[in-house]
Structure 1
Amino acid sequence: MELLAQGRFADAHRQLPRWGAGGRVAHLRPHRRVGEGDHAVSAWPEAWSITAQNLPEHARNPIHTDAGAHAAGFPRALVAGVTTYAYLTHPVVAAWGLDWVANGGGEVRFRRPVFDADVVRCEVRPDGEAAVVEAVTDEAEQPRAVFRAVRAGGVVAALRDGEALPAKRVELRGEWGSDYGARAGDPFDLYQQHGVVHPAVWPALANHLVHTEVARGSWVHTRSIVRHHGLAPAGATAEVRGTVVRRFQAHGERAVLDVHITIDGQVVASLEHEAIVALP
């Protein structure tokens, strides 16, 4: 679905900084930053394709089942946006490595649905020093999603004021661990090799807040700005805190969340996360 963000949220993606010199991961430590003196990765992301599939836990949202999708007017189950995001990160991490997982970021916008069993082609083009990765399928209107990745995600900002949501404590394993991509059909095993959490887990945890605290019935993830602030070890316990900073109407009721994910009191990821929380 097309994003219709307004005001300063419409321009938020422009605030993502350009990157500087890359780093190199020599030794992985919990939520450490990767910086100068570590391994620099300079390759440019390359196109890649995969057959999209839903994960079992996504059936909690009816829109990711055939029955729920039919009820909302779609031909078949929508693939979770966070899974599409996991696919879009593949070319970026294959080129830029764990430096991006620790320090990078970007904005993903879900313009139209990716359906279960679609072949998704992740096509890459430059935008200055950023890499824009587009999810392209065989449907008429393309692209289905767009991810603008940068190598420096920026500093941690304070959690914005808003409707405070109950904090969640989550163990970073299973659906929240290192094998998110593998479970979604991606054979790229960098995360399992190094025992670090897959970057798609961060918007997945923001979705967890949406699903449990904000949404009413079927809902649709539309956009995320994601900033990485360190590597997170698989198996650690994370706290997810969020506030609803805006609600508005556009093709349904939308909510914009500000989210911090912390381990041992340190923020490892921060997000601005938008979803249609009540379908029209």
Structure 2
Amino acid sequence: MQTRSLVAFNTALDSENKIHDDDVARRFGFSGGLVPGVDVYAYLTWGPVSTWGRSWLERGRISVRFAVPTYDGDTMTVEWDEPEGRLRNPTGAVVASATAGMGPAAATVDLARYLDAPLPGPGDRPPASPSSLAVGTVLGTWSVAVDGASQSAYRDDVREELLIYGTEDLLHPGFVLRAANRLIAENVVLGPWIHVGSEVTNLAAVPTTGTLDARGTVTAEYERKGHRFVEVDLLVRLDEVPVARIEHTAIYLPRQVAEG
């Protein structure tokens, strides 16, 4: 088994999602603001990239689930015992787990499933609800320009120690997964919300420069234990080249918010 330690960092203090804010998170019973799940995912990708390198970035797969929060400043331990990855907090509790592997040499995706749609303006987003996130809803396409300089800062933020991203000018898979969060957040108005897990299929190693976009459709919306969940099937592209398919699950309305 391979292990490494890192100090978790909350990159989302200024986020619209106030679950990352210390005061708001404490009102919900947490010890402080939550480190984003997409960054916890970034920590866990250290294992498969250490083992399979660029090949995993080109055609690897990973399923990740988050069990309990990760907090800013905590010394975390990443464990990788192929094909299983775990992240443990200072008490030894497993806060997140992943299963990773290699996909076929040429994974195929039905591109016709991923439709382009206009993104609503900031003032036109509807509140997140069972109707605005109904099954079959095509979300507006979100995009962002990326460059090497911003990626260097990002890798520092997620405590990445592998050199492959800098030496080969590649986007970090954690940054790619951020596109899934942005796709949801730029289509509906959310209160505090929680990333629960993701299934990711890599389709290409992603250069650090270009326009990254995400498009997708709501595949499930349901209630469980008082929380409202949404599942989205999305495609991420760089300069119109597909780079990842993601099945993303989030609690968009936590029970604590619904109960006021």
Partner SS, residue 69 of structure 1: helix
1:110 is matched with which residue: 57, 66, 69? 66
TM-superposed CA distance for 1:56, in Å, is 4.6
Letter aligned with residue 84 of structure 1:
V
Structure 1 alignment gaps of length 5 or more: 1-44
* Alignment size in residue pairs: 231
1:120 is matched with which residue: 76, 96, 112? 76
| Matching of residues 71-82 of structure 1 within 5 Å | 71-82=27-38
Letter aligned with residue 155 of structure 1:
T
Partners of 1:271 and 1:176 lie apart in 2 by: 23
Letter aligned with residue 100 of structure 1:
W
Partners of 1:87 and 1:97 lie apart in 2 by: 15
Match of 2:86 in 1: 134
Match of 1:250 in 2: 224
Change (3 A) 1:182 1:260: same
1:239 is matched with which residue: 209, 213, 229? 213
Partner SS, residue 68 of structure 1: helix
TM-superposed CA distance for 1:175, in Å, is 9.6
Partner SS, residue 187 of structure 2: helix
Match of 1:85 in 2: 41
Describe the superposition over 1:16-62 as per-residue Cα deviations: whole angstroms up to 9, x where unpaired.
xxxxxxxxxxxxxxxxxxxxxxxxxxxxx721121111115663321
Preserved CA contact (<8 Å) 1:85 1:200: yes
Partners of 1:173 and 1:162 lie apart in 2 by: 33
TM-score (norm 1): 0.76
1:149 is matched with which residue: 87, 97, 100? 100
Partner SS, residue 133 of structure 1: strand
Describe the superposition over 1:173-210 as per-residue Cα deviations: whole angstroms up to 9, x where unpaired.
37974653322223333212211110112221001112
| Matching of residues 201-216 of structure 1 within 5 Å | 201-214=175-188, 216=190
| Matching of residues 1-280 of structure 1 within 5 Å | 46-56=2-12, 59-126=15-82, 131-139=83-91, 142-152=93-103, 154-158=107-111, 159=113, 162-173=136-147, 177=151, 179-214=153-188, 216-251=190-225, 252-280=227-255
TM-superposed CA distance for 1:215, in Å, is 5.4
Partners of 1:218 and 1:117 lie apart in 2 by: 21
Partners of 1:174 and 1:139 lie apart in 2 by: 36
Preserved CA contact (<8 Å) 2:13 2:21: no
After the TM superposition, which parts of structure 1 deviate over 4 Å for at least 4 consecutive aligned residues? Answer: none
TM-score (norm 2): 0.81
Partners of 2:16 and 2:150 lie apart in 1 by: 15
Partners of 1:58 and 1:229 lie apart in 2 by: 31
TM-superposed CA distance for 1:273, in Å, is 0.2
Letter aligned with residue 71 of structure 1:
R
Structure 2 alignment gaps of length 5 or more: 115-134, 256-260
Partners of 2:163 and 2:13 lie apart in 1 by: 21
TM-superposed CA distance for 1:145, in Å, is 0.5
Partners of 2:152 and 2:56 lie apart in 1 by: 15
Partners of 2:188 and 2:68 lie apart in 1 by: 22
Partners of 1:195 and 1:180 lie apart in 2 by: 13
Partner SS, residue 15 of structure 2: helix
Describe the superposition over 1:98-123 as per-residue Cα deviations: whole angstroms up to 9, x where unpaired.
11111111100111111111211111
Partners of 1:267 and 1:119 lie apart in 2 by: 35
Change (3 A) 1:173 1:277: farther
Preserved CA contact (<8 Å) 1:119 1:138: yes
What RMSD in Å do the two structures reach over aligned CA positions? 2.2
Describe the superposition over 1:200-249 as per-residue Cα deviations: whole angstroms up to 9, x where unpaired.
12221001112222452000000100011111111111221011111011
